[in-house]
Amino acid sequence: MGKGEERKMKKLDRNVLKVWYIRKIILSLILIAGYIATIVCIQENVLLLAVVLGILLLILVVPLLIWPILQYNRYQYSYDERHIVIDSGVIFRHHIVIPVRQIQDLHTIQSPFMLLFKISGIIISTAGSNFSISAVKAEDGKQMVEDFENYLNDRLDEDETAQ
């Protein structure tokens, strides 16, 4: 399946942004708490220290907070009877086409935050590597897994007939 072929790509469930932001905000709060604790404990040259560490904090925290929206905008996927296509990545853009016949097993994962927002992630295991579709609605995820299983059975039947 070449890149030129048209396909309708789907985006991840919007609730995944909430999950990602919650994680990033928790991490940012930990970094800010560390920053404040350092300033409070150090008695000498407080202002200079606050400025230096403040710049460091900005370098770390600002990308953390804008990254999820960039990631969400880039992530797309689609699938049919023979292919699963995933486009992802912000700076390094990944495009992969996975043959359905190479699927070995399928897994659905849900973290506590994902459970809260009724979304799940799908992990597609092949004999080579694992691939994932980060977050879809829980019911859509179940349907997707069923579809993959049906498509895989069809491919395996095809192979048996061909033999």
Partner 1 sequence: MKMKRLSKKIIGYRIFLGFFISLFPALLVIIMMETSEKAVLILVSLAVFVLLFFPQVLFAILYQKYSGYLLTEKEVISIRGVLFRKKSNLLLSKIHAVNKKQGLFQKLFSLASLHIDSGSTNTAALEEVVIETDEKEIDRLYELIKTGHTSSSAEVMQEVEFKDTLFHFSGKGKFSYILLNAISFLLFSIILFFLISIVYYIFPDEGQAPNLMEGIMLAGYVSCGALLLFLIGEALAVCFKYHHFEVKKKAEELEISYGLFVRVKNTFKLSRIRAVEITSTFFQRLFGFVAVKLQVIGYVDGQENGAAIGVLIPLCRRKDVNQHLQEILPDYCTLNPEFKSKSYFPFISYWLMFTGILLLVFNLILWGAAIAISRYDILFYGGLWIDGILLFCLIGKCISALLEKSYTGIGYDTDKIVLYRGGFHQECSIIKLKNLISIEDVTTVHRKKKGIHSYVVHYRTNAFKNEVKVHMLEENLYDELQKLIQY
Q: Which residues lie near partner 1 (CB under 8 A)? A: 1-4, 38, 42, 44-45, 48-49, 52-53, 55-56, 59, 82-83, 89, 91-102, 126-129
Q: Pairing state of beta strands 83-88 and 103-109?
A: unpaired
Q: What is the 3-state secondary structure (H, E, C) of 1-23?
A: CCCCCCCCCEECCCHHHHHHHHH
Write down the least CB distance from residue 116 to partner 1, Å.
Answer: 32
Provide CB contacts within 8 A for 148, sequence distance 6+.
79, 84, 100, 103, 106, 124
Write down the least CB distance from residue 55 to partner 1, Å.
Answer: 6
Nearer to partner 1, 20 or 151 (CB): 151
Nearer to partner 1, 38 or 143 (CB): 38
Nearer to partner 1, 42 or 116 (CB): 42
Nearer to partner 1, 6 or 44 (CB): 44
Strands (E), 10-82: 10-11, 76-79
Write down the least CB distance from residue 31 to partner 1, Å.
Answer: 13
Write down the least CB distance from residue 92 to partner 1, Å.
Answer: 5
Write down the least CB distance from residue 52 to partner 1, Å.
Answer: 5
Classify burial at 128, counting beta carbons within 10 Å of its beta carbon; exposed 0-12, middle 13-18, buried 19 or more: exposed
Provide CB contacts within 8 A for 113, sequence distance 6+.
18, 19, 22, 23
Nearer to partner 1, 119 or 134 (CB): 134
Q: Hey, which residues does 107 pair with through a beta bridge?
A: 123
